[in-house]
């Protein structure tokens, strides 16, 4: 995989406060699906704001596609063009009086031709199921619709990577499912996606890699399965295991205890990410389909 964004020993402190992120180093690759996990105040939002260039780290280096990003206007512009950021609260992001104006704000700042801005705006709106919302005022939309507008905002800029800060916060299950579907489509289109969340169930379904922050430091950066298998990491980050993961573990524990012999390498088996997979897992575990082998 090609490197997209690399952070080396990034350090950021808000005025007269303790450092929000300390000595953070990470590399994000093209097409990845990354979950940035951590409890409240772990530094997830600050990490994202640094990745997008809204916050300038006090020390450390950043590289976009191998080229160093300095604090020059040109470099910051290049970074913000390539790395889109969707804020947690849509009301913090939305500034325009109509949905169309709102979504066109980013492309207009890229100094594109009006026809191109119009094309991108329509494309982003269609992708986010917002066709017909162009003339609607954002302040009269529901929470889920506002969230979709805020994602369309960033999509219209056609970035290589999208950072979503707490994307599932205050969304109902239907909107979470819609969001997940959209993120899957974006991922299939080759866009790198990173979400910051403490919704471990969503992260477990969505991501392949997890970066865990605690007290502003990265305490784990690995395949998401490995992260959730590590009790010390979860304890330090004040995280719980995803429900399906925990249930699968419980099931494995029960099976290993009495009825089924535990074959070597069984621990490496991929835990179910969705309820359908879990049902298959139960079938397989209980030997209904013959072998009793969990793999």
Partner 1 sequence: MMTAALIMTVVWCLLYGRVPSVALALACAVLGVAFSLLGRHRHRPFVLVDVLAQSSRLNRVSPSLKLWVVLVLMALCVSASNLVVGVFLAVVALILIVPVGGLRLRDYLHLLALPVSFLMINGLALLFELTAQRTGVLGIHVLGSWFCVSAEAQSHAALVMARALGAVSCLYLLSLTTPMSEVIGTLRRVRCPGILIDLMYLTYRYIFILLLMFYTMRDAAASRLGFVDYQTSIRTTGHLYADLLLRSYRQAYRNFDAMESRCYGTGIRFLENRREMAGGHVATAVGITAITLGLSLSFR
Task: List the structure tokens of 43.
Answer: 């530094």
Supply the minimum distance, in Å, between the C-beta of residue 118 and partner 1. 6
Contact 204, 2 (CB under 8 A): no
**Contact (CB, 8 A) for 25 and 9:** yes
Shorter beta-carbon distance to partner 1: residue 150 or 214 = 150
Shortest Å distance, C-beta 73 to partner 1 = 8
Task: Looking at residues 144 to 173 of the shown chain, list those that interact with partner 1 (rule: CB under 8 A).
Answer: 153-154, 157
- Would you state the structure tokens that stand for residue 91, as one six-digit string? 């009301």
Of 15-23, 106-114, 196-204, 206-214, which part binds partner 1 (CB under 8 A)? 106-114
Restricting to residues 261-280, which ones interact with partner 1 according to CB under 8 A? none
Rounded distance between C-alpha atoms, residue 61 and residue 63, angstroms: 7
Site map for partner 1, 108-137, x if CB under 8 A? xxx---x--xx--x-------------xxx
**How many residues contact partner 1, by CB under 8 A?**
41
- With tokens 């490995």, the residue in question is 226
Q: How far is the CB of 173 from partner 1 (least distance, A)?
A: 23
* Degrees to nearest 5, angle at CA 151 with 274 and 156: 130
Query: What does DSSP say about strands 192-197 and 33-37: parallel, antiparallel, or unpaired?
Result: parallel
Cβ-contact 42, 237 below 8 angstroms: yes
Q: Which of residues 166-225 bind partner 1 (CB under 8 A)?
A: none
Which pair of tokens denotes residue 62? 């950043």
CB of 206 to partner 1, least distance (A): 22
Encoded tokens for 170: 């205050």
Residue 157 and residue 39: Cα distance in Å, rounded? Answer: 30
In whole angstroms, how close is the CB of 66 to partner 1 at the nearest point?
22
Sketch the per residue contact string, 65 through 104, with partner 1: x for CB under 8 A, - otherwise.
------------x--xx--xx-x-x-xxxxxxxx-xxx-x
Give me the least distance between CB of 11 and partner 1, in Å please: 19
Q: Which residues pair with 33 in a beta bridge?
A: 193
Rg of the chain on CA atoms, in Å: 21
Residue closer to partner 1 (CB basis): 96 or 186 = 96
Beta carbon nearer to partner 1, 150 or 168: 150
Q: Give the C-alpha separation, 191 to 83, whole Å.
A: 10
DSSP class per residue in 1-48: --EEEEEEEEEEE-TTS-EEEEEEEEEEETT-EEEEE--TTSSHHHHH
| Residue closer to partner 1, measured from CB, 2 or 139 | 139
Closest CB to partner 1 among residues 116, 283? 116
Least distance to partner 1 from the beta carbon of 3, Å? Answer: 22
80 vs 271 by CB, closer to partner 1: 80
- Restricted to residues 29-58, the positions that interact with partner 1 (CB under 8 A) are 49, 52-54
CA distances to 33, 78, 84, 196 from 203, in Å: 10, 29, 19, 9
Residues that bind partner 1 (CB under 8 A): 49, 52-54, 77, 80-81, 84-85, 87, 89, 91-98, 100-102, 104-110, 114, 117-118, 121, 135-137, 139-140, 153-154, 157
């Amino acid at each position: 995989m090609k490197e997209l964004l690399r952070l080396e020993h990034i350090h950021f402190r808000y005025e007269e406060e303790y450092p929000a992120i300390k000595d953070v180093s990470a590399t994000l690759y093209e097409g990845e699906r990354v979950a940035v996990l951590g409890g409240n105040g772990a530094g997830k939002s600050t990490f994202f704001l640094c990745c997008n260039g809204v916050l300038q780290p006090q020390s450390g280096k950043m590289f976009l596609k191998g080229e160093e990003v300095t604090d020059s206007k040109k470099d910051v512009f290049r970074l913000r063009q390539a790395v889109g950021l969707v804020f947690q609260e849509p009301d913090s992001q939305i500034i325009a009086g109509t949905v169309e104006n709102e979504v066109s704000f980013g492309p207009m700042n890229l100094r594109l031709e009006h026809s191109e801005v119009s094309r991108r705006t329509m494309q982003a709106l269609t992708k986010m199921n917002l066709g017909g919302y162009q003339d609607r005022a954002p302040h009269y939309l529901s929470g889920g619709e506002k969230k979709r507008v805020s994602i369309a905002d960033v999509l219209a800029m056609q970035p290589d990577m999208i950072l979503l800060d707490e994307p599932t916060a205050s969304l109902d299950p239907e909107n979470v499912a819609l969001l997940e579907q959209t993120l899957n489509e974006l991922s299939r289109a080759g866009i790198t996606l990173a979400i910051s969340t403490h919704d471990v169930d969503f992260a477990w379904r969505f991501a392949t890699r997890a970066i865990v922050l605690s007290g502003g430091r990265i305490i784990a950066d690995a395949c998401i399965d490995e992260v959730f298998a590590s009790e010390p990491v979860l304890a330090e980050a004040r995280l719980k295991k995803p429900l399906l993961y925990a249930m699968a573990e419980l099931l494995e524990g029960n099976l290993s205890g009495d009825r089924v012999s535990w074959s070597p390498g069984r621990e490496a088996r991929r835990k179910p990410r969705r309820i359908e997979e879990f049902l298959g897992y139960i079938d397989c575990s209980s030997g209904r389909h013959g072998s009793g082998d969990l793999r």
